[in-house]
Structure 1
Amino acid sequence: MSDVRAELREQFLDAFDGADYPVESQMDLVPVLPDGPTTTFEAGDVRVTAMELASKLGGEQEFPYESADELVDDILDGLEAKGLI
């Protein structure tokens, strides 16, 4: 796993672990984000807000998610598929 992916994984898990799973939509995640949709995740040269994640990966995500690990893996896979990490 690349350093950027590993660092983002840790940040995403910290942010999304507090959600009430299963989560049915992106809106279920907003309350657990410290700065809501403007929460920013940074690793290496990658900088992305929660709002950008939602807009760039909306079509890639398959809700519902049963756990933070499942959600985060899907986010990271989507970022890789789009060439963003």
Structure 2
Amino acid sequence: MSTEAELREEFITAFEDAEYPVTGQMDLVPALPKGPRTKFEAGGVSFSVMELASKLGSHADFPYEDVESLVDDIMDALREEDEI
């Protein structure tokens, strides 16, 4: 499985239990398995939730109605920022 596919799977697992629609980043924190200490790791990359939030803040397009649209934007932003 590619790094992108692994990260996508991790993001979906972490964010699928959020209460949608989510209107901001703080709406996602209760869904995270380790809260703000959650880390996402795949291949040679690793992001804490705080790092992810700071890298992607300007790319977010809240509100999100479902996990798929949220994760699509996260993945697009990571590509645009040359993180993956």
TM-score range, shorter chain: over 0.9
Q: CA deviation at 1:61?
A: 0.5
Distance 2:50 2:37 in 1: 6
Query: Identical aligned pairs, as a percentage?
Result: 57
Q: How many residues align?
A: 84
Q: CA deviation at 1:35?
A: 1.2
Structure 2, unaligned runs of 5 or more: none
What are the superposed Cα offsets for residues 1-33 of structure 1, whole Å, 9 maximum, x if unpaired?
A: x71110000000000000010000000000011
Q: Does structure 1 residue 73 correspond to structure 2 residue 72?
A: yes
Q: What corresponds to 1:4 in structure 2?
A: 3
What TM-score, normalized by structure 1, do the two folds share? Answer: 0.95
Distance 1:5 1:53 in 2: 15
Q: CA deviation at 1:43?
A: 0.5
